[in-house]
Chains A and B, each alone.
Chain A
């Protein structure tokens, strides 16, 4: 069956520390993958999307980067976190019906 895994579920990091969030998809090949962020009280903001290995499109210039080292793996990174990077990060995978989301990572930068 097709599933999407995202971890960790929660993360507390100090300002200036690095970040790595991982997302993997099972049961499909060559998926379109997405990273969204949901800040408190706000809607969803598309950060990055990828249509294939090594192909990353950035929607919002910021402190974050993304990589797609394998077909079913999508990684969100930062070299130095800012307070404003706090939020709920969601990985998603596009199917013929729509976007299916992972369970999300709640990131608190202190």
Chain B
């Protein structure tokens, strides 16, 4: 299977919370990231979490990390139409690694 897995699609109503999930396989992952890609644009770094943390909150964004289950989630509170995009989970494996490994991305559609 894929090293970093995400569901491909998520649809939510405007104002609701969105939860995008990601699983990874490498227990030596040191940093885990969430990127946002709007249509025709590059990837924008949204937030990241160190592997020794369980949670990180940044305004409407909450990242939860369950190292035991190798599960990462991104919660977007009060989802807006401008949040519609593809969200990528990514990991850096091991100390000193130069590479990020990405999931295939979750397409979030926000219904007005």
What is the minimal beta-carbon distance from A34 to any residue of chain B, in angstroms?
Answer: 8
A97 CA / B99 CA spacing, docked (Å): 13
Partner-contacting stretch, out of B10-18, B66-74, B77-85, B100-108: B100-108
**Contact call A97/B48, Cβ cutoff below 8 A:** yes
Q: Interface size bucket, A side?
A: 20 to 34
The B contact surface, by secondary structure, is strand
Q: Mark B33-72, 1 if CB is under 8 A from A, else 0.
A: 1010000111111001000000000000000000000000
Residues of chain B contacted by A103 (CB below 8 angstroms): 41-42
The A contact surface, by secondary structure, is strand
Residues of chain A contacted by B24 (CB below 8 angstroms): none
Q: Which residues 65-110 of A have a CB within 8 angstroms of B?
A: 90, 92, 94, 97-104, 106
Q: Mark A20-39, 1 if CB is under 8 A from B, else 0.
A: 00000000000010100000
Residues of chain A contacted by B90 (CB below 8 angstroms): 98-99
**Contact call A43/B41, Cβ cutoff below 8 A:** no
